[in-house]
Amino acid sequence: MKKKGFTLHLLTSAVLVSCLTSTSVLADDASAPMSPLMKQLNNGNWLPQQEAQSLSEELYYQDAIHAYIQTLPLLNTIGLRDGSEAAFGKGYNVLPVWKERMDSRAVVPTPNGDVIYSMSYLDLKETGPLVIKAPANVIGMFTDFFQKTITDVGAIGPDRARGGLYLLLPPDYEGPVPQGYFTFKSPTYNVFLFFRTIMGKGDGKPDPIPAVKNAETTRIYPLWNVEKEVKPMQFPDASGKRVNMMYPTDVTYWKKLKDFIDYEPLTAIPDDTRSALLSIGMVKGKPFNPSEKEQALLKKAVETAPRMILARRQMGRDDQRQLYYKDRQWENSWAGATAEWMQYGTLDENQRAAFFQIAYSSAAAMVMHTTGAGSKYPYATKDKDGKFLDGSNTYKLHLPPNPPAALFWAVTAYNITDGTMPETDQLLPSTNGYYNIPKNSDGSIDLWFGPSKPDGVADSAFIKTVANRNFLVALRLYGTEDSFYDQTWVPDDLIQTNK
C-alpha cells in the first residue's frame, strides 16, 4: 500500500509539474519566437471575426472590379449585338447598314459618321461554318466577341481590297475544309462582322450612295446549304433610328456575362479571364448564385469600375506612351501597343479597358504602319494649354496642308465618358475632306468647335458642342501616308479662342 500510495503521489506530482510547466509556457507566449508574417498577421492567430468578414468582402469586391476590367471588351460587343438585334432583327442574313451615315441618335462608342457602316453578329453554333462574300475595297474585319481580330478584311486582309469569299469555322469544328476560301477558325461561336465602305465625293459634300451599293453586295450563307435553302440577304436601313447599342451599366452586366460563358466553349474564355471570373464564383455550367452581400458588391463594382477606368484615362500614363508627339496633346488609343494590347510583350489590360470604355474594334490595320492602306485615329482631350476641352468654350483646330490620308480624313467630336456623339441640333458632329471646307492661302484649313458657330465660319468647318460638358476630338486618317509616321505632317493643338 505504501508503494501504491507513493506511486500515486509521484503521479500527482508529475501532473502538477506538467500543469505548472504548461502555465509557464502560456504565460511566456508573447516572447515565443515568431516569423515576420506571424507578427504581421495577428501574432500567428486568426483574425477577429468581424475583420476577417470585412476583408473577405473587400477582396470579393476587388475581384469583381478585376472581372469587369477583364470582360469589358466582351460586354462592349454584347451591347452592340443586343441593341442591333432588338432594333433590326437577328440572323446570318441580316446586315444593318447606316445608309445615310451614323449620327448621334445611335448610342454607340465612337461611331464614325464619315463612312458607311455595316455591322452584324454571326452565331456559328447555330449555323455551323459560314461563308461571307466581302465587297471589294471594304475596310473591315471579323473579330471574336472579345474583339480579338480573326482577320482583317480589305487592303490589309488576305483579299488585298479585291473582295472575296471568307469561311469562318466554329471553334470546335473538326470537319473537312474546302479549298478556295480565306479560311479562319473563330475562338468564339459568336463573331462580329464590321465592314466600312467609302463614300463618293458629291457636290460639295460626301455621297453615300456608292458606299451603300458596295455594302449591299455582301452575301452570307451557311457553307453546306444549297442555294435554294439560303435565306435572302436583308439590309435594313439603320440611319435615323434611335438605338442603344451600349454595354450594360447595371447588374445586368453580370447576367449577360454568365449567359455568354455558358453558351460558349470553355476555351473561348481566355485563361486569365476565367481565373478572374472564378474568383467571384462565375463558372461555366454551374449556377451563379451570389449571396445578398455579394450581389451588393457586384452592383458596387459595376458602378465603380467605370469611374476607375475614367480616372486612369483622366490622369494619363506616367510613361507618356499615349502621346503621339513630344510637343502636342494628341494621343494614341493603343499607347503603342499591338492590336492585341501587348506592351513590351505583356497584356496591358488597363489600356485595353480604357479603349473599350469609349470605342470598339481593334485590328492590325489600326496600329500597323501601313502606307496608303491602314488607318490612324489620333485624338485630343486637352487644348494647347493642357486644359480639358469644355463644350462651353470655343476652339480652333488648324490642320496643315495635305493631310496624309490617301482615302480621306475626318474630324469628329465625342463625349468623353462613353465615346458617344454629343447630340445637338447638329446630329452629325463631324466634318471631312469630302466637304468644300474653305482653305487658307497655303492650303491649310481651320475647324471650329463650340456651343455656337462663330461669325463668318462655314457650316462645313464647324462642329457643335454641348455647354458644360467635356468632349474629345478624334482625327481619322484613312489610307495613312508616310508623312504621318515620320511626323513631317503634324496637326496643331486645339486653341481656346474665347478666353
Strand partners, 496: 395
Q: What percent of the chain has pLDDT over 70?
A: 94
Q: Would you put residue 317 in left (φ > 0), alpha (ψ -120 to 50) or beta?
A: beta
Helix (H, G, I), strand (E, B) or coil at 226: coil
Task: Supply φ then ψ for residue 124, to 5 degrees.
Answer: -75, -15
What is the C-alpha to C-alpha distance for residues 455 and 158, in angstroms, rounded to an integer?
49
Q: What is the pLDDT of residues 45-81, one digit of tens each?
A: 999 999 999 999 999 999 999 999 999 999 999 999 9
- For 338-403, list the strands marked E by DSSP: 342-343, 346-347, 375-376, 379-380, 395-399
Strand partners, 141: 152, 194
Using alpha carbons, list the distances in angstroms from residue 272 to 94, 259, 275, 290, 377: 34, 19, 5, 21, 29
What is the C-alpha to C-alpha distance for residues 386 and 392, in angstroms, rounded to an integer?
16
Q: How confident is the model at residue 363 (pLDDT cuts 50, 70, 90)?
A: confident
What is the C-alpha to C-alpha distance for residues 96 and 102, in angstroms, rounded to an integer?
11
Q: Among 397, 395, 487, which residue's Cα sits nearest to residue 437? A: 397
Q: What is the pLDDT of residues 2-44, one digit of tens each?
A: 444 434 343 344 443 444 344 444 444 567 899 999 999 999 9
Greater confidence, 18 or 228?
228
What is the C-alpha to C-alpha distance for residues 307 and 151, in angstroms, rounded to an integer?
33
Residue 49: CB atoms within 10 A of its CB come to: 8
Q: How confident is the model at residue 257 (pLDDT cuts 50, 70, 90)?
A: very high
State the average pLDDT over residues 386-401.
98
Q: What is the pLDDT of residue 7?
A: 40
334 with 351: CB under 8 angstroms?
Answer: yes
Q: What is the pLDDT of residue 30?
A: 60
Q: What is the pLDDT of residues 105-145, one digit of tens each?
A: 999 999 999 999 999 999 999 999 999 999 999 999 999 99
Task: Supply φ then ψ for residue 152, to 5 degrees.
Answer: -70, 155
Cα 231 to chain centroid distance, Å, stands at 32
**In order of start, what are the domains of the chain with their CATH numbers?**
62-69+249-313 (1.10.3360.10), 89-244 (2.60.40.1610), 316-496 (2.60.120.600)
Residue 295: CB atoms within 10 A of its CB come to: 13
219 with 239: CB under 8 angstroms?
Answer: no
Q: Among 490, 217, 218, 477, which residue's Cα sits nearest to residue 373? A: 477
154 with 365: CB under 8 angstroms?
Answer: yes
Is a pLDDT exceeding 60 seen at residue 497? Answer: yes
The secondary structure of 246-314 as a DSSP string is PPP-STHHHHHHHHHHHHS-GGGS-HHHHHHHHTTT--TTS-----HHHHHHHHHHHHHHHHHHHHHHH
